[in-house]
Amino acid sequence: MLIVLATAAFLVGCSTHANGGTNQPNILWLVIEDMSPLLPMYGDGSIETPNLSRLAEEGVVYTNVFSTSGVCAPSRAALATGLYPNGFGANNMRTSSDTEETGLPKYEAVPPKNTKMLSQLLREAGYYTTNNYKTDYQFKAPKTAWDENGIYAHWRKRTENSPFFSVFNFTTTHESGLFEPYGVRELEKRHYFSSDAEKISKLPNHHGVKTDKDSTPVHVNPETKFPVPPYLPDTPIVQRDLWKVYNNLAETDKQIGAILEALEKDNLLENTIIVFYSDHGGPMPRQKRLIYDSGLRVPLIIRFPKGYKASTVEERLISFVDFAPTTLAMAGVNIPEYMQGQNFLSTASEREYVYAAADRLDGITDTIRAVRDRCYKYIRNYRPNDPYYLPVAYREKIPSMRELLEMNAAGKLNEAQSQWFRKTKDTHELFNVCNDPHELSNLAYIKNYQNKRKEMEGALNSWLSEIGDKPLMTERQLISELWDGKASQPITEAPTVVVRNGENVITSKTPGAFISYRVKNDETPLNWQIYKKEQPLKHGIIEAIAHRPGYVESEITTLVTKENE
């Protein structure tokens, strides 16, 4: 069963085409990393962000938007699928990278059978889909997901008049941007413009290694005094790291300005819905990786064409699982029933709660679940005998993190600052986030709040049951379940050609596998095309590949299709 929602077609004066069409709006995602709502439109006037401020003036500012996780890969899994990552094995950070610290095999999350990425659903509906550089979904994207995926991916390569869904990822604000020596990071050239001569050497976008000294221009006065949250000490080292945070944000604003300029240059601004957000909360200590609001709450600005709802503020609760169904609604595309999010542009219903989860972070395992309404957050710690602070080596490259550890060891932190370093956790935490936005006063054990705690616990339990989350399952048990008890990652069966009803069709024996194909010739191969179910093929030589997300991709096979008799 499919649910049809055509919420946003009227915004751009377009007709709705559930199966694709040239009148659908373009959709552009501008995604930054590791950033809380430290922007003028959210009340933080520390710096100016002219391009983001323009989007806010011409669009809608959403004030209660939350990632499902305080770290990137699980949150991106939610964005890509419309599913909660802790429901399909995607919540442990870095499941398929180096496993020396955990002793576990490499694995991928396995979405439910026939789950399609948002980009594939849009591609099937006629959109030209591009992703600039970053994926990180906890599973390898099938070749059906994108028309282009790489540093030079751009809407400008699409067929004329076809709508596009383009994602541009900006890494300048990433946590690694706080490491020392500041500014000595890799310059990643991005193809934001139309020709190779215009590749973005003038717009740095960094992620961790050496480049020239001018790679990070100074936009913000280093002498500026920045606001410090109460859980951090106001020291010169913390102030310098905050300067980096704001300076990186100012640089990213400039990069976003280049995208907007390119959009206007192509005369596409008034047929494009622009969505700006961050993948989770801020990069500072006690922000990223945690499921306090400092790690989950993000900015979201949507600019609709033709001034629709310009300069308005929307306070409804929004979760990352809502992004996929909402984007489909923007395009007038059917929303699959399996998606666990909802279209937040619809006025039919609003969320009562948003949910979040934390599990293994690099080599350190924790298990935490949380539910939040407008003013209260309930957190359940499944490992109460473990400390709150976990020694993630990557985070300890931040100077202020190292200073925090030194000050804690010397007994120099005040009560609010030392809370994170408690040796054991409260099993239950309840915060009034309207009165206590930094979540420092636990109300879970106070008599007057027991009814609220009971309500929130009930909401959390219902959510865990609905999505099939088993927090007490070990990661090794999870891997066994994802692999159906096998000793290694399942492999997608290679595609074959069969003749049905006198037509050549491609099949794979793996249930839920998606098939991509391209015509083989002596020239550069065409992009991989989505093979549609029971699609007849002309005779000739074809390359094909099958892939169920979470399984090993099949080998590329060369198929010789016979002429139909």
Catalytically active residues, by annotation: 72
Alpha helices by DSSP H, listed for 93-235, are: 118-124
Q: What are phi and psi of 60, to 5 degrees?
A: -115, 130
Q: Name the one residue in this structure whose structure tokens are 């191969």.
A: 525
341-344 LR contacts (CB < 8 Å, sep 24+): 341/82, 343/5, 343/7, 344/316, 344/318
- Which of 190, 177, 175, 173 lies closest to 249 in space, CA to CA? 173
CB atoms under 10 Å from CB of 502, counted, come to 8
Strand 60-66 and strand 312-319: the pairing is parallel
| Degrees, nearest 5: CA angle 312-356-344 | 30
Quick one: tokens of 26? 């373009």
Radius of gyration of the chain (CA): 24
What is d(CA 318, CA 372) in angstroms, rounded to the nearest whole number?
Answer: 11
Euclidean distance between CA atoms 150 and 173, whole angstroms: 20
B/e letters for 409-431, b = 16+ CB within 10 Å, e = fewer, are: eeeebeeebebbeeeebeebbbb
Q: Tell me, what amino acid is at 477?
A: Q
Q: How far is CA 305 from the centre of its chain?
A: 24
DSSP 292-307: SHHHHEEEEEEE-GGG
Contact (Cβ atoms closer than 8 angstroms) between residue 423 and residue 387: yes
